[in-house]
Amino acid sequence: MSVILEMENICKQFPGVLANDRVCFSVKKGEVHALLGENGAGKSTLMNILCGLYKPTSGEIRLEGELVQFSSARDAMELGIGMVHQHFMLVPTMTVTENCLIGDKEGGSIKLDRKEAGQRLKELAERYGMEIDPDAIVGTLSVGEMQRVEIIKALFRGAKILILDEPTAVLTPQEARALFKMIRALTDNQFTVIFISHKLDEVKEISDRVTVLRLGAVVGTHDIAQCSIEELARLMVGREIIFDVVERQHPVGDILLEVNNLSLHRLHSHESNKLLDDLSFEIHEGEILGIAGVDGNGQAELVECLTGIRKASSGDAIYQEKDLLHLSTRDIMSHDVSHIPQDRQKTGLVMPMTLVENFALQDYYKTSFGKRGFLNWTSVEERSSKLIQDFSIKTPSAYELAQNLSGGNQQKVVAAREISREPKLLIAMHPTRGLDVGAVEYIHNQLIDQRDKGVGIMLVSTELEEIMRLSDRIIVLYEGRAMGCVRPSETTIEEMGLMMGGRTLDEIRNGRVKEAPVENMVM
């Protein structure tokens, strides 16, 4: 295989951060080359440079031996480099064809030839074993289908090198497998794929070679056949990490929260189309209940109903002999419930406020924070300093603005505020999303500590490993319905994947569906 792409000594300086530090990266024609690294290792920056969105501070890019320079994404695309971004670059209100034609300059005519383009799309898709409806409105497609549209779009525009940025983050295991088949079909046809990921198993499975990035610099490039998963992990984080299963030897207490027939209807819609459909479950003291599922299957709505942010349509949620569904958020929180919201930057913290202020947000009205409507800043500050120390939050001072902290430290601030309230019920949604391994470990240990203290925890996460590692029981949500409730020790990743894709546990275990419907997944 010949080298098709070389990036030499690429540096990218952002204000205050050197995102890429003399990165050298070379890709052979027809291979799957994985770019492995933790969040913030500089993978996305490097690829944004490659696809023309960023300009490198210094360094050279050679394509088939020739020096190239991109001043826009169109430049890169014209030379055959196409990127499938993590957040899809699609317009949901337009059709598949229209999405592929945006920015298209082929042909002299300014007229939009939807028919001809649709035909070409269909042929292209069929050649690589995908089916596609060019006239479908993108917004009506599933996430997996949208991803295929993105890939087709890149091919349609003449991409020879395809960059996939964390492509499996939003997919069920089955959809991911279908994607891998597609990738194979492409490389068999002399396309080159750059596969960005921080998931070791996937990298091991799909790639031919791997380049590992750490803190913006290349750690090394290896043939995948010569690397074990443990080695990859060590290269990525720079230290050995232990894939242990957390010990679950602790007594589970009484029922803490009992949810019965919780439903939430869509606004202006029919019965059949519910956001939450008849959910019933309970959480015990000292138990972690995991809520798994692909993003957008009702997790956020469930959390919002239980924390009083949204009004449920029917059902109840009994906690301390009260129905949470009929209490205000303030009432719920004052009954020893804590909430780590899904998005620390949007709903967890007020970014332009200092840490001291952010720490005071939840309980500011209580007398320990001040009297007669005045905040006692001295005691608030003391408390903040203590939390910063206890939770080892890295910040220059307690008066630093929340927005200036790293993601991991921001999350620690949220966790510190919520956990220090000594809750009895802790609702945590995506508590480790986007954090590096060290921070993830820290948050996990905090959750385990709380569990051991007898706190009932509802852990909502899309990371299967996290859910399997921490939970005592797991409920899988699909389109607002519970597909089943399992113990991590009694289930498999495959079973979880099937449930995340819409099969009930009953269907799977009673053998009514033998095989995942991967083969006939159609756009």
Partner 1 sequence: MDLLQTIGGYLFTDIRMAAPVLLAGLGLLLMNWSGLLNIGAEGIMLISALAAVVGSHFFGSVWMGLLLAMLAGAVFGLLFAVLTVTLRANQTVVGAALNILGLSLSTTLNRVFFGIETTVTKVDAFQVWEIPLLSKIPLIGRAFFAQMPIVYIAFLLVPLIHYFLFKTKPGLNLRSVGENPRVADTLGINVYRTQYLATIVGSMIIAVGGAFLSTGLLNFFAEDMVAGRGYIALAAVIFGKYRPTGIMFAAMIFMAGNVVSNVLQVAGVGIPYTFLTMIPYILTIIALTIFASRAVAPASLGRPYKRG
Q: Which residues bind partner 1 (CB under 8 A)?
A: 51, 53-54, 72-75, 77, 83, 85, 89-94, 98, 101-105, 110-112, 157
Token pair 């859910």 in the structure block, residue? 467
Q: H/E element holding 345?
A: none
Q: Coil, helix or strand for 261?
A: strand
The nearer residue to partner 1, 85 or 284, going by C-beta atoms, is 85
Q: Coil, helix or strand for 66?
A: strand
The nearer residue to partner 1, 150 or 175, going by C-beta atoms, is 150
- Work out whether strand 217-223 and strand 209-214 pair parallel, antiparallel, or are unpaired: antiparallel
Contact in structure between 283 and 457 (CB atoms under 8 Å)? yes
Q: Give me the least distance between CB of 219 and partner 1, in Å please.
A: 26
In single-letter form, the type of residue at position 299 comes to Q
Contact in structure between 2 and 192 (CB atoms under 8 Å)? no
| 97 Cα distance to chain centroid | 28
Q: Residue 510 burial by CB count (10 A; 0-12/13-18/19+): exposed, middle or buried? A: exposed
Length of the chain: 523
The nearer residue to partner 1, 6 or 75, going by C-beta atoms, is 75
Distances (CA, A) of 254 to 285, 447, 454, 457: 6, 19, 10, 13
d(CA 410, CA 513): 44
The nearer residue to partner 1, 56 or 423, going by C-beta atoms, is 56
Q: Give me the least distance between CB of 61 and partner 1, in Å please.
A: 17
Q: H/E element holding 343?
A: none
The CA dihedral of 411, 416, 418, 421, to the nearest 10 degrees, is 180
Q: Give me the least distance between CB of 166 and partner 1, in Å please.
A: 16
The nearer residue to partner 1, 114 or 234, going by C-beta atoms, is 114
Closest CA to 162 of 30, 1, 10: 30
The nearer residue to partner 1, 15 or 511, going by C-beta atoms, is 15
Those residues with Cβ within 8 angstroms of residue 386's Cβ, 6 or more apart along the chain or in another chain: none
Handedness of CA 395, 401, 407, 411 (dihedral sign): positive
The nearer residue to partner 1, 160 or 214, going by C-beta atoms, is 160
d(CA 433, CA 355): 21
Q: Coil, helix or strand for 67?
A: strand
Name 476's bridge partners: 292, 484
The nearer residue to partner 1, 145 or 165, going by C-beta atoms, is 165
Contact in structure between 457 and 288 (CB atoms under 8 Å)? yes
The nearer residue to partner 1, 96 or 325, going by C-beta atoms, is 96
Q: Write the DSSP assignment of 378-389 as a string of letters.
A: HHHHHHHHHHHH
Compute the radius of gyration of the chain from its Cα atoms.
25
| 26 Cα distance to chain centroid | 28
What count of Cα atoms within 13 Å lies in the side-chain half-sphere of residue 345?
A: 8
The nearer residue to partner 1, 100 or 486, going by C-beta atoms, is 100
Specify the DSSP class assigned to residue 229. Answer: H
The nearer residue to partner 1, 163 or 210, going by C-beta atoms, is 163
Those residues with Cβ within 8 angstroms of residue 274's Cβ, 6 or more apart along the chain or in another chain: 263, 264, 265, 266, 313, 480
Name 292's bridge partners: 476
Q: Give me the least distance between CB of 112 and partner 1, in Å please.
A: 5
The nearer residue to partner 1, 110 or 242, going by C-beta atoms, is 110
The nearer residue to partner 1, 116 or 231, going by C-beta atoms, is 116
Report phi then psi at 514, rounded to 5: -85, -35
